[in-house]
Chain A
C-alpha cells in the first residue's frame, strides 16, 4: 500500500533511565515465574480450588486482550469505515496489540498447570468445540500470528533501509574470535536485505486479507471471552450472568480499544515530546459514545428483562461495583458528547481513562468480583502473583519503547504537522496521505 513514508522511527537513546527501571521490574516478575515452575502455582499465588482463576486470567488475558484491542478497533475504522485519515495511527495500535496478545499468551503458559500438554490444541481428535475456551485459544493463537504479519512491513522496511551499524559494531567487538570476517557477514546481511526487499511488496499485496482476518478473529474470541462465564450460572452474580455476555464483551472491547488508542497516542506524544494528534483523536473520540450507548442500553435492558434492576440499586457490595463500572463508562461517554472536550487533550485523556477503567472493571466484575464459588472461599492476589502480572505489563511497555525506536511505527511528524495545519482549514475524507506531498521519512 506504500504508506511507509507515513511512519518514522523515534529518535533518541534506547537505554534510558526508565528502560532500566522497567527492566528491573521485568526481572523481578520473571524471578517469581521461575519459582512458580519449580514449586508449583500454589507457592506464588493465592488461587484456590474455589477461585481457580486469579488475576493472571482476569487481568493478563481477559482484560489485557481487551486493552490490546486498539489494533482491532483502529483497523475497523481504517479499513472498513474507509477513513484513511486514521491510517497513521494503525502501526502503533498494532504494535501494542502484538505485545498485548503475545504477553497474554505468555501469561497463559504461566497460568496453565500442565503447559507441556498445550500441543493438544493442534490435534483434531482432542478438539472440543463445545468449549468456549477452545475457541478463544485457537483464535488468540491465530490472531497473534496475524498481528505479527500485520507488523512485518515495518520490520521489513527497516531491514531494507538498514545500514547495519549496530550489527557491525557488535561484529567488531566480537571479532576475531567468534564473529565471521567482514566480507562474509556483509554478503549475508545483503542477502537478508534482498530477501526483505523481495518479500515486502509481495506481503503488501496480500496484507489486506490478513488485516481483515485480524478483524474477524477478535470479533470471535472477544465475544467468546464473555461466553467463558456463561456456564458458571450458579457462581456468577445475576448482575453479570446473562446470555448477552458474548455481545457485551464484544462491544466492551471495541470501546476499550478506541479509548486505549487515544490514551496511547496522548501518552506517547507527551512522553516522546511530540505534538498531540488532536485531529485524529477527536474523530476517534466521536465514535466511542455510539458504542458505549449500545453497551449501556443492552446492560440496562437485559437487567430489567431479567428483573435484576433492584439488585443493581441495592447498595450492597455487588451493586457498588456494578454502579462504579456503569458510571465510569457512562460519565466518560457523556464528556465525549461535548465537542469542545473532544478537541482538548486533557478532557480526551480524562474521559478515555474513565472508559478504559470502567470497561476493564466490567471484566474484573465478571471474572473475579462477581464470581462467588460458595461460602468459605476468598481470593485476593498475592504479592508474587501481582508482581508477575506487573512484570508482564512492564515488559509490554519496554517492548513498545524499544520497537518504536528500532522500527518506523509512530506517525511521521513532517506529514503530521502539515496535516494539522490543513486539517483545521478543511476536513476531507481521504485524509493526510491523499492530499499532501509525500515526504521521505527523515529519521534514520
Chain B
C-alpha cells in the first residue's frame, strides 16, 4: 500500500515538474525577436575626444538638481561638506567622468550614465511600472511617485546604473532620464551634450549616431577599438560608446547580444501564459482534495456507525 501511494506522489511531482520543464524549454526556442528602434533618442560618447573637464557632470547637477532630488555629495576627505567629489554614480550623481590609467602614458576618460537600453532590464523587472520606456523617444524614465523602493532594478541592470539614496529617510532611485523634464524639454538637447566643450558627447537619434560612429571608425581605424559599444550589447543601447581601449577595461561589462530581459521574460511568460497553468493546477488539486476528503469522511461515518 505504501508503494502505491509513493508512486502517486511521484506521479504528481513528476507531472508538475514536467509541466514546468516543458514550458521552460519548449518556448525558449520560439524567439519573439527584439525589434530595434533606431529612431529613439540617444547619445554617442567618444572617449578619445573627452578631455575630462567634468563640465557635463556639473551641468547635469545644475539642471536636474530640483527635479531629480540630486543634492551635492559630500566628498569623503571633506568634513565641512564644501566639496562635491563623487567617486561613483550614486543617489546624488547621474553622470560621472572617470579616468582609467593603463600605464603612465596610456589612459582614457570614460563617462558613466544610464545606457537607455532597447530592452531595459529595469523596466522588465519593476513590479509597479515605476520604470518605464517611452514609446517614441525611447527614454528609460523613473517615477518616484510610483516606486516602492524594492531595488530590483539595481539587481537587474547589468551596467549597475540605477542608484538608491541609502542615507535618506525618504529615498528614491536616481538615474539619467536624458533631461526629459528639464533641458531636453526646454532646449531639445541633454545638458551634458549641450555643455561638452570638446564635442565628446553627441546627442541625436540612434540611427544618426550609429552612422556617425561607424564613419569615425572608418576614418581613423588606428585611433579606435573597432567596436561601437552598445550597438548590440544586451539587445542594443541608445547610449553608444567609442574608445581607444577595450571597453571592459573602462568598466563597461561584456554582455551578450541577447537582452537579459528576453531570457527571463520568456520563462516567466511560458509558466504563466494566459494563467492556464495555475488555474489548471488549482482545479486539479481541488478535484483530488475534495475526493480525498469525501473518502475520509466516509471512513469517519463508517466508524461512527460501527462504534455505537
Contact = CB atoms under 8 A, between A and B. Distances in A.
A126 B20 contact: no
Contacts of B251: 374
Given A227-B264, A231-B260, A435 B303 contact: yes
Interface in B270-291: 271-272, 278, 281-282, 285-286, 288-290
Nearest to A428: B1
A345 interface: no
A213 B121 CA distance: 31
A265 interface: no
A128 B121 CA distance: 13
B293 A234 contact: no
B164 interface: yes
Nearest to A220: B278
Nearest to A113: B149
B272 A430 contact: no
Given A212-B285, A234-B253, A373-B160, A228 B10 contact: no
Interface stretch (A19-27, A37-45, A187-195, A267-275): A37-45
Contact of B260 (A1, A131, A233): A233
A246 B6 contact: no
Interface stretch (A79-87, A159-167, A315-323, A399-407): A79-87
A347 B156 CA distance: 42
Interface residues of B, number: 84
A287 interface: yes
Contacts, number: 230
- Main secondary structure on chain B at its contact with chain A? helix
Interface in A210-225: 211-213, 215-216, 219-220, 223-224
B20 A246 contact: yes
Contacts of A212: 282, 285-286, 289
Interface of A: 1-2, 37-43, 47-50, 52-53, 79-84, 111-115, 117-118, 120-121, 125-135, 137, 208-209, 211-213, 215-216, 219-220, 223-224, 227-235, 243-244, 246-247, 250-251, 254, 286-287, 290-291, 294, 373-374, 427, 429-430, 433-435, 437
Given A43-B167, A120-B146, A233-B256, 4 more contacts: A49-B162, A113-B147, A216-B281, A227-B271
13 contacts: A49-B154, A80-B289, A82-B295, A113-B164, A114-B171, A117-B146, A117-B148, A120-B128, A130-B265, A131-B126, A208-B286, A247-B20, A435-B303
